[in-house]
Structure 1
Amino acid sequence: MLFSLAVTLGLAASALAVPHEKRARAQVISRCTVPNTIALTFDDGPHIYLRDIVNLLNSNGAKGTFFFNGNNYGCIYSTANADNVKYAYQQGHQVASHTWAHKDLTTLTWDQIHDEMWRVEQALTRITGANPAFMRPPYGNYNNLVLDASGVRGQSVVIWDFDSQDSLGASVSTQKGLIDGLISNHPSTILSLEHEVYDSTAHQVLPYFIQKLKAAGYRMVTLAECLGKNPYQSVVAPSSRDGNWHC
């Protein structure tokens, strides 16, 4: 009896000593799998341009995927941001995680990584009712700890295979040249990285990209559709605004 108790206590102590839970490491996705599709994905929002981008996509029969932060350009819980996030979701576009504060996850501890992930997941579930199945790490940076944390949270990690270089300040002509080169190669699928801006540069580039894609016969779909996967781990009724909606 005493021996059994000692073994039990020893196993419990060993479990507590394990730094983090071991589950299947998250899959890293860098390309679509459904032929003739492109996933236009937008990082770093919600920002003031979100509704403009959604309306542009809608007018072209396209769907986008928005990797949202919780508190980057502004608080996701602000009335305007929450309304725009809900608008994108209700229009059939996909919402996903870009973590809470856009920190480089490879510089954080296990607990800090989970906090960055959990806080934005909670916000998206409160606002839309959807718990995202996909996470894009800020700067595209990840390590095994990040992949393990994403695996525990039931999410896949998403990168890209085409970068418009809008975040690097590429000129209109440079971005259009990258797009022309991409289209001329006509890959079977495209997983494209954009950022949630629609300033004077993007106002020229994004419509150009969309028209080129349409002319080339691509279907502009959500990330989940271009992978043949579910966009969300679960979907419930959204929450009502209360005192917890703050950054």
Structure 2
Amino acid sequence: MRKTALIFLAAAAQVCAGLTLTTRQGSPATLYTGCKDPQTVAMTFVESFGPTIFRLHTHSQMTRRNISDIFTSAGGHCTFLLNGADYACIYGATQVNNLKYAFAAGHQLASLTWSHLDLTTLSANDLRTQVSKLDLAMSRIVGAMPTCLVPPFGSFNDTVLAIVGETKPAVVLWDYDGTNGSPSDIEAGYDSQVASAITNMLALNEETTPTTASQVMPHVVNSFVQAGYKLITVAECIGVDAYYNRTTPTNRTVDWHC
């Protein structure tokens, strides 16, 4: 009864915002830990609405070389893992414009939940809030809610799968961590994977380090493309739709705040 009431309250909040919340019946989210097809690479980027992903300052000059464009230019796509209020507020004007830019380019926007907390430490009610607040922001900004959720720190349990499964079919973990080390170390790690002719990869990357966009990704993307890999989204990697509850983005209101 309590679970039903909480879902009803979440739905009521969405209706008040001019949105409709779709719930799934009975099934926990499926855990995915890698891609299904060979010769595919799904690259994900944490805290992806931060400023360095779209615009880099070099010698005080604003350049348009960014992660989104790197993948677009290579004929591929990537996935940005979003939270609402950890690195910066998702409703900030720059963040909103950047999300719309990546979305329009065909890159996937997936959920890292609202506050980037360990989901296994939260109450059921707080966990639902972490999921639904990010979904609401996504619906307002780009007119779609993400089907894929990556748990912060890779931390999950059966309760997380059950509650995420109320609205989403997929909880996703990476099978390669590209977040640690110097830029040259990270490049060498990816080069080693390419040289070993890995079947496929679902990789985690740290976007907020400026060298990710300015140095590491141009090298890594070129290496995979030259080796014949296809750069795809997480949704393509695991075989699900990227979004649900597609609708028209809304105009900014006083409710757009963190």
Q: TM-score, normalised by structure 1?
A: 0.87
Are positions 1:244 and 2:255 aligned together?
yes
Equivalent-residue separation in structure 2 for 1:228 and 1:114 (angstroms): 25
Partner of 1:71: 85
Residues 111 and 183 of structure 1: CA distance in aligned 2, closer, same or farther (over 3 Å): same
Within the candidate set 209, 227, 230, 1:216 is matched to 227
Match of 1:24 in 2: 27
Instruction: Give the Å deviation of 1:180.
Output: 1.8
Using the alignment, how far apart are the partners of 1:98 and 1:234 within structure 2? 18
Counterpart secondary structure, 2:245: strand
Where structure 1 has 5 or more consecutive residues not aligned to the other structure, the ranges are 1-14
Aligned residue pairs: how many? 230
1:141 to 2:165 alignment: no
In structure 2, relative to structure 1, the CA distance for the partners of 1:67 and 1:215 (3 Å cut) is same
- Residue 56 of structure 2 corresponds to residue 42 of structure 1: no
Q: Which runs of 4+ in 1 moved over 3 A?
A: 15-22
**Inter-CA distance 197–17: structure 2 relative to 1 (3 Å threshold):** closer
Q: State whether structure 2 residue 133 is matched by structure 1 residue 122.
A: no
Candidates 172, 185, 190, aligned match of 1:179 = 190
SS at match of 1:235: coil
1:33 matched residue in structure 2? 36
- Per-residue CA shift, 1:40-82, capped at 9, x if unaligned? 1111231002222112222222201111000111100011101
What SS does the aligned partner of 2:165 have? Answer: helix
Q: Secondary structure at the match of 1:193?
A: strand
Structure 2 counterpart SS, 1:28: strand
Change in CA separation of 1:129 and 1:31 when aligned onto 2, cut-off 3 Å: same
* Aligned residues of 1:171 and 1:201 also touching (Cα < 8 A): no
RMSD between superposed Cα atoms in Å: 2.0
Deviations 1:57-112 (A, max 9, x none): 22222201111000111100011101101110011111111000111111111001
Q: Which amino acid aligns with 2:27?
A: A
User: C-alpha displacement at 1:201, in angstroms?
Assistant: 5.7
Percent same amino acid among aligned pairs?
34
In the TM superposition, what is the alpha-carbon distance from 1:18 to its structure 2 partner?
A: 9.1
Give the structure with higher Rg (CA).
Answer: 1
Q: Which whole-Å CA distance do the structure 1 matches of 2:47 and 2:155 have between them?
A: 15
Distance 1:224 1:176 in 2: 25
Distance 1:173 1:16, change over 3 A: closer
Q: 1:56 to 1:146 in 2, by over 3 A?
A: same
* TM-score normalised by L of structure 2: 0.84
Give the direction of change, closer, same or farther, for the CA distance of 1:218–1:244 in structure 2 (3 Å limit): same
Amino acid at match of 1:68: L
**Which residue is equivalent to 2:165?**
151
Distance (Å, rounded) in 2 between the aligned partners of 1:137 and 1:94? 16
Deviation sequence 1:221-240 (CA, Å, 0-9, x none): 11112223211123111111
Contact 2:120 2:157 survives alignment (8 Å): yes
Q: Give how far 1:244 is off.
A: 1.0
Query: Contact conserved, 1:36 with 1:218, CA < 8 A, in 2?
Result: yes
Separation of aligned partners in 1, 2:160 and 2:2: 20
Residue segments in structure 2 that go unaligned for 5+ positions in a row: 8-24, 55-65
Q: CA deviation at 1:17?
A: 8.8
